[in-house]
Each structure stands twice: as C-alpha cells, then as structure tokens.
C-alpha cells in the first residue's frame, strides 16, 4: 500500500494555485483505496516567513477549511498540523547533523533570498531538512508536489540515503510525484501565484472582494475593438484551467474577433470561479464559522500521526545510541 504524503504552508490564505496544483490532485489520489494518505499543514515551515501568531492561526484554519471544503475525507486520510506532532522537530535535528552545508547553500529556498543575507534566518536555511523530516518520519513512498519542490525532494532523498548508508535501512527513500500536466498557475501579475508574492486569487473570499481581485489581473492596453492574443493573456490562461473545451474555444474566438474587452473576459472568469466552486465556498464558510469542528478533524489525524511518528523516532534514537 503506497504511502502518499504532502503539506501546504500556512503562511497565507490558500489560493487557486495551491488548490489546482496541490489540494485537488491530492484529494483525487486519496480516493484510491490502495493509497494511504498523509496530508498536513506545514505550520512550522510558515514560521520561517510569517511571525504574526494570530495570522498563522487564522491561515492554518483557512488552509484546513480549504482541504475539508474541497472534499478531503478525514476518515480515510490522515490530516494534521505539522506542529502538533513535535517528533518532527527532534528528527529534523538529527537530520541536520547528516546534512552537508553546501547542499543547503545550494537550495532554491535559501538561494532566492541569499542576496540579502540579513533577511535569512537559520530556519529558512534548514527549511529542506525539516521538510525531509516531514516525509521520512512517516515512511512516505510518494510525495505529490509542484515542480518548484523538486529540488527539496532530491535533498530529502540524499539525506535519507546518507543516513541509511551508516545505520542500515531505517528510512524509505521517497519519490516525488510531479504531474507535468499540472501547470504553474499564474498570479494576477503573471508571476507564479504564491502566498509570498501578494498576487493570489483567493476563491473563498466574499463575492465583492473576489471580483476585485480578479479585476486586478494585469492585461495589456490593446483597445476593446481590436483582436487580442488569448495565448499571452493571464485572464485567458486562468479561464482555460477551469473551463470546459467548448467554453475555451468560445472565449478564444471572442479574443480573436475583437470588440471584446479584458473587463468582459475578467467578468466571465469571475462568474466561472463562482460556478465551479459554489459548493466549496459554502462549505469553506461553514468550517470557518465552526472552527472547533476543524479542530476535531485535525486532532483525529494528529493522534494517528503521532503514533506512527513516535514509533519511527524510537528506532532512530536507538540507531543513534540515545
């Protein structure tokens, strides 16, 4: 039975990129009874960037509510907060001592910020080690992630292999599961949609705010009357990942025929988001109004996760002579 594990940081509200790139594919995998799924909220990783406690708490609930609203079944999958299974921190320390400095100095999570070293904390530097601990603590075989996480999985594999070489087959060396069909969803500015770039579309916002976010999508200044190139337009790209074939063809024609403004395209995108996520939006609001129910869902998963984690950690401690 393959074990599948993935996490999403709670450094901000979950967005369309997280949903299409990570949450929905992971939920799909969990529907196959052959898979044993571990899905968690990486609230410890979020501390590398987000320091405000209230914000983290709120984003953690919103991330959990998103998984639940989009259909995660917590009866068959193990769903938990990373911070509630603190065994992961102990394992991360051990793994730190098996991680060569140059491997971390080379990782994108550090390199991207290394032009301003005063902004880099040690947690950010060792971010990939905590991520390796997240994965190998639970003997995960497969880790579904976006292309941006590929290097972190390679680091995980190296750390696990190094440890096993010295102490025997303690850890499973996991494989990344990267679906090339899942595109990187662009944000309203055209860069990768990300909590850290302030360019997200938050499908769970109230209608008015959601519409405002969609209306902010950057477009060029081609006049309304003129034909437009759909392939270079972010609005069209976002519409295409949500719409069915007929609708995509019809919007392409409107772009190419002219007399169709970007404002109209944005309005159609907005309506499509509302239509596609109508039920999920209702469920999200329900969960956010009943946070103690979210807690119950998570506590259930945390109990199971903790059992597995502490048994693995005992083995590691023994191997290390503690």
190 strand-pairing partners: none
Known catalytic membership, residue 147: no
21: contact with ligand ADP by CB under 6 A:
yes
Known catalytic membership, residue 195: yes
Closest approach, Cβ 283 to ligand TRP, in A, equals: 23
- From 31, 57, 111, 113, the catalytic residue: 113
Closest approach, Cβ 69 to ligand ADP, in A, equals: 16
x/- site string to ligand ADP, residues 195 to 224, per CB under 6 A? xx----------------------------
143: contact with ligand TRP by CB under 6 A:
yes
Residues from 83 through 122 that contact ligand ADP (CB under 6 A)? none
> How far apart are alpha carbons 261 and 268 in whole angstroms?
11
**8 Å CB contact between 66 and 202:** no
62: contact with ligand TRP by CB under 6 A:
no
Residues from 110 through 139 that contact ligand TRP (CB under 6 A)? 131, 134-135
Residue 24 vs residues 70, 187, 232, 287, 289: alpha-carbon distances, Å = 7, 18, 26, 18, 23
**8 Å CB contact between 207 and 274:** yes
Helix 150-167 vs helix 127-136: crossing angle, to nearest 10: 70
Closest approach, Cβ 40 to ligand TRP, in A, equals: 8
Helix, strand, coil % in the chain, rounded to nearest 5: 60, 10, 30
213: contact with ligand TRP by CB under 6 A:
no
60: contact with ligand ADP by CB under 6 A:
no
For the chain, how many residues are written? Answer: 322
Structure tokens at 196: 């850290």
44: contact with ligand ADP by CB under 6 A:
no
DSSP strands (E only) in the chain: 3-9, 36-42, 78-81, 142-144, 175-177
3 state DSSP class of 25: helix
- Which of the listed partners (ligand TRP, ligand ADP, none) does 86 bind, with a CB threshold of 5 to 8 Å by partner kind? none
**8 Å CB contact between 269 and 219:** no
3 state DSSP class of 175: strand
- Closer to ligand TRP by Cβ: residue 130 or 201: 130
x/- site string to ligand ADP, residues 241 to 270, per CB under 6 A? ------------------------------
70: contact with ligand ADP by CB under 6 A:
no
21: contact with ligand TRP by CB under 6 A:
no
- Closer to ligand TRP by Cβ: residue 196 or 257: 196
- From 34, 150, 192, 283, the catalytic residue: 192
Strand order in the sheet with 36-42: 78-81, 36-42, 3-9, 142-144, 175-177
Known catalytic membership, residue 291: no
Q: Tell me, by CB under 6 A, how many residues bind ligand TRP.
A: 13
Give the interface with ligand ADP as residue ranges (CB under 6 A). Answer: 8-9, 11, 17-18, 21-22, 145-146, 148-149, 184-185, 192-196
Please list the active-site residues.
113, 192, 195
């Amino acid at each position: 039975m393959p074990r599948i594990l993935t996490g999403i940081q709670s450094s901000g509200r979950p967005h369309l990129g997280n949903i299409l790139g990570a949450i929905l594919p992971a939920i799909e995998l969990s529907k196959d009874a052959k898979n044993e799924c571990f899905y968690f909220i990486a609230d410890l990783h979020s501390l590398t960037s987000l320091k405000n406690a209230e914000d983290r708490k709120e984003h953690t609930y919103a991330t959990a509510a998103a998984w639940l609203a989009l259909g995660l079944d917590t009866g068959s999958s193990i769903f938990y907060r990373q911070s509630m299974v603190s065994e992961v921190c102990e394992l991360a320390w051990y793994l730190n001592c098996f991680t060569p400095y140059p491997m971390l100095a080379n990782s994108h999570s550090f390199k991207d910020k290394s032009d301003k070293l005063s902004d880099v904390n040690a947690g950010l530097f060792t971010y990939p080690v905590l991520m390796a601990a997240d994965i190998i603590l639970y003997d995960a075989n497969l880790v579904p992630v976006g292309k941006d996480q590929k290097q972190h999985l390679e680091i995980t594999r190296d750390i696990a292999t190094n440890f096993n070489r010295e102490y025997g087959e303690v850890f499973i060396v996991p494989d990344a599961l990267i679906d090339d069909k899942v595109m990187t969803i662009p944000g309203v500015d055209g860069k990768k949609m990300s909590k850290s770039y302030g360019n997200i579309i938050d499908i769970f916002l109230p209608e008015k705010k959601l519409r405002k976010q969609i209306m902010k999508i950057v477009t060029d200044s081609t006049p309304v009357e003129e034909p437009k190139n759909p392939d270079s337009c972010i609005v069209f790209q976002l519409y295409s990942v949500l719409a069915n074939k007929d609708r995509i063809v019809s919007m392409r024609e409107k772009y190419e025929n002219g007399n169709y403004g970007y404002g109209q395209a944005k309005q159609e995108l907005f309506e499509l988001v509302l239509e596609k996520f109508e039920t999920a939006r209702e469920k999200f609001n329900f969960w956010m109004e009943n946070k103690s129910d979210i807690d119950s869902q998570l506590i259930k998963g945390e109990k199971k996760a903790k059992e597995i984690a502490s048994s693995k950690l005992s083995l590691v401690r023994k191997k290390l002579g503690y």
